[in-house]
Amino acid sequence: MTDPEPIRVLIVDESDRAEDLARSLERDRSVVTAVVKTGEAALAALADGEVDCVVSEYRSVGTVDLLAAARRAAPGLPFVLYGREDGPPTEAVSAIATDHVRIVGDADEGGSPDGNDGEAGDADGTDDADGSDDGEATPAGGVGGSEALAGAVVDAVAAARDDDHEVRARTLLEASPVAVAVLVDGEFVYVNGAGVDLFGADDRGDLFGRRFADRVHPDDRDRVGDFADPDAVDDGVGTEVRIPGKGDDPRRVEAVARAVEWGGRPATMLVLPGTTDRARRERRVETLQEATREMMAATSIEAVCELAVETCREVLDRPYAGVWLYDESAEALRSVAQTDMARDLVEEVPTYVPGNSLSWRAFATGKVQVYEDVGGTDEAYNPETAMRGELIVPLGDWGVLNVASLESGGFDPEERRAARVLAGDVEAALDRVDREERLREASDRFRKSFEHGIEAALIADVEGDAIVGCNPAAAELLGYSRAELTSMAVSEVHPDDVDTLRDLADRVAEEDHARAEGVTCVRRDGTTVRVEVSAAHVELDGRGCTLYHMREVDEDRTGERRIEALDAATRRMTAAADPDAVADAAVDAAAVVADSFAAVYAHDPDGDRLVPVAATDAEGVGVVTEGTVEMAAFEAGESRLVEDYGSVDDPARPGTSFDALLAVPIGDHGQIHVRAPALDRSTRRAVETVGRTAETALDRLEREAGSGGPDPDSGDERGSEPSESPDPGSETTETSGSEAAGSSESETTESRESETPDSGS
């Protein structure tokens, strides 16, 4: 008996106990470990391709980023998390990770990771006073020692290998040009697409329950009698039989039978290979399998589409192919990828809209379209196209895959079948990329909201009396650096209100959100500030924590007015139709926030100057040129506060009486100026928020101007589901009468000319 294939495990752990864990896992002789301490080292190891499973502590710093990066580098790689403390990993991490196990026992007190302290007689974990075994555990959130972790690793790798084998087997079987059927008691219980074609059936349902012997030539039925009895089958021995099809002449094939089991019953599997072009067909299947693996590992929509057209060139030997994806904002199919020959054939690749092309018809109906010759067809995008034969395969809600030929003539059943399998794999790959991109965007949005929020925010483990996260606003409010705050106890910042914060955490667990007023914070300099606290539950690297937003108590509601102004400005700028509307909204918001003068300047690249476009007082603005403090701030691309502005000789502020100036960049678009007697920290942060919002709005308007239409903020390139789409797996075939007579597929026969990737069929 041969040894099992070794499992290569990469342990990512910065603690001193990593080597102990490695030795413990290697007690299973099928496990070989390697230990790294950083995410960068782990990704380097993954790049070498010699890893079957990654194991990491789910509370380690960087575990979330490592998991996301590993998923991008190796989407199907098992990733098992473990922890030595109470609490599961975050929901987001658990949703992506393969499994997680919490290790308990003596390992938590500094002993070996399997729950044993290394003393003689305790190696099997059974010498506890009560005879229990600290090393026993269950995965998927279970509790135990390294034996449970090793079991989770072995199970995860086995499942991954099984899944990989199953996917490959399914792709091979369905895409194979070789007919395969399974018989129970001599009757069909399974047949692949090639088998449907071979036996001249309209679909699989026409064969299920029918006798195989009835589908062969009457003179050959005696030779296939033993196929009804699996016990009588001579495994691997072929028998030539004639299979009547839709044409006049039966096809001669060699039926090779093997005894198998199907649904717990004895069965016969028949393989009926064709007699010609076998090498070409085998290469087609292998290439399709390899393309599927590459597409499932792709990290962008564009990369998936490029692989799809390249596969058309290699698998179907069709050099003219393209992918068009649906743009919901324009209700159009836009070209995303073309083969080189298709791109060279036309000056401009077409865009398809409702009613202007055969491609749109295929997308809207969800049916495969086959055209033998569309030159001169009224429905074609370009009736004078050089293309003739064309196969258009819908990609679900994503768009269409077009394959074309310069010669008239249809696509044989093998090509159609391979194109349908490829389209299914492309759709699945696009769905995966879209899900991963949305997950990254959601994570980025939370991170940006937390980092750039104008309200101070802390993430705390109140029960553990620890601050585990903070944003810049919190550090500024309390006078500490972020590193100092995240090493402090909650009771150091809120010595008089720890009980209040614990009560908030309890209420959050029941109600999702909770608020408290009059909480006192102690700053670094010993002064205090009273804040209003809003709390919510968050998960940080598998640790359940509470997120506290803190707003200084302001009797005159200045803080509330600022937030209301920022909300209103955001809505106005998001809906703005031109840069002037964005500038007006930004000035209004900045003026309310500062309770003083505000102006917006646009950058004039030709004159290398800043020109006023909106202001609360038109008399208080002028052109900003080189040598001014405002221009220096714009060129540096950063906010700048000038507290003695009244003493600066500056042509941008004729006759100003204000003492302070705040210049805030709006990206490369321009700048916001606020002038006031004084500008405190809270005001500065609020104006910077206005600047970032204005930059986003102006970027959007630029993109829309460049694309000729609104830019979809959602990032969803698929759009809504076509209203008239039946089953996307169905196929409408429009061919010449001669092809219909010889075709082995179910087709609607109609003389058509081909719509092509370059002509916009």
Per-residue pLDDT tens digits for 44-63: 888 877 788 888 887 665 67
Q: What is the pLDDT of residue 132?
A: 37
Quickly state the pLDDT bin for 629 (edges 50, 70, 90): confident
Q: How far, rounded to the nearest angstrom, does the alpha carbon of residue 646 sit from its chain's CA centroid?
A: 52
Q: What is the pLDDT of residue 665?
A: 93
Q: What is the pLDDT of residue 143?
A: 45
Quickly state the pLDDT bin for 195 (edges 50, 70, 90): confident
Q: Specify the pairing of strand 179-184 against strand 142-144.
A: unpaired
Question: Tens digit of pLDDT for each residue in 260-276?
Answer: 887 778 888 888 876 44
d(CA 311, CA 313): 5
- Give the H/E segment covering residue 510: helix 498-511
Task: Count other C-beta atoms under 10 Å from residue 436's C-beta.
Answer: 17
pLDDT at residue 755 tops 60 = no
Quickly state the pLDDT bin for 666 (edges 50, 70, 90): very high
Which residue ranges form the domains of the chain, and what is each CATH number? 7-167 (3.40.50.2300), 178-273 (3.30.450.20), 284-362+375-433 (3.30.450.40), 453-553 (3.30.450.20), 559-707 (3.30.450.40)
Q: What is the pLDDT of residue 276?
A: 41
Q: What is the pLDDT of residue 370?
A: 83
pLDDT at residue 350 tops 70 = yes
d(CA 475, CA 471): 7
Q: What is the pLDDT of residue 748?
A: 33
Question: Tens digit of pLDDT for each residue in 527-536?
Answer: 888 888 888 8
Comparison of pLDDT for 736 and 59, the residue scoring more: 59
- Give the H/E segment covering residue 651: none
Distances (CA, A) of 686 to 67, 594, 616, 665, 672: 35, 9, 18, 13, 12
pLDDT at residue 151 tops 50 = yes
pLDDT at residue 466 tops 80 = yes
Percent over 70 (pLDDT), the chain: 75
Q: Is residue 602 classed as helix, strand or coil in its secondary structure?
A: strand
- What does pLDDT average to over the chain? 76
- β-partners of residue 743 are none
- Structure tokens that stand for 565 in this block: 């102004």
pLDDT at residue 593 tops 90 = no
Question: Tens digit of pLDDT for each residue in 392-432?
Answer: 899 999 999 988 887 776 677 777 888 888 888 898 889 88
Task: Identify whether the C-beta of residue 82 lies closer than 8 Å to the C-beta of residue 103.
Answer: yes
d(CA 570, CA 36): 45
Q: What is the pLDDT of residue 655?
A: 56
Q: Which residue matches tokens 């072009």?
A: 277
Percent over 90 (pLDDT), the chain: 10
DSSP code, position 14 = -
Question: Tens digit of pLDDT for each residue in 682-735?
Answer: 788 888 889 999 999 999 898 888 765 555 444 444 333 333 333 434 444 443
pLDDT at residue 280 tops 70 = no
Is the entire prediction scored with pTM above 0.75?
no
User: Mean pLDDT, to the nearest integer, of 131-160?
Assistant: 61
Comparison of pLDDT for 564 and 470, the residue scoring more: 470
Quickly state the pLDDT bin for 229 (edges 50, 70, 90): confident
Q: What is the pLDDT of residue 723?
A: 36
Comparison of pLDDT for 419 and 85, the residue scoring more: 419
d(CA 381, CA 287): 32
Q: How long is the chain?
A: 761
User: Mean pLDDT, to the nearest integer, of 507-511?
Assistant: 81
Question: Tens digit of pLDDT for each residue in 322-349?
Answer: 999 999 888 999 999 988 888 877 778 8
* 228-235 CB contacts, 8 Å cutoff, 24+ apart: 228/183, 228/185, 228/186, 228/268, 230/259, 230/260, 230/266, 230/267, 230/268, 231/259, 231/266, 233/257, 233/258, 233/259, 233/268, 235/259
Task: Identify whether the C-beta of residue 699 lies closer than 8 Å to the C-beta of residue 574.
Answer: no
Q: Is residue 262 classed as helix, strand or coil in its secondary structure?
A: strand
Q: What is the pLDDT of residue 649?
A: 61
- Structure tokens that stand for 334 in this block: 């836009």
pLDDT at residue 170 tops 80 = no
pLDDT at residue 176 tops 60 = yes
Q: What is the pLDDT of residue 669?
A: 93
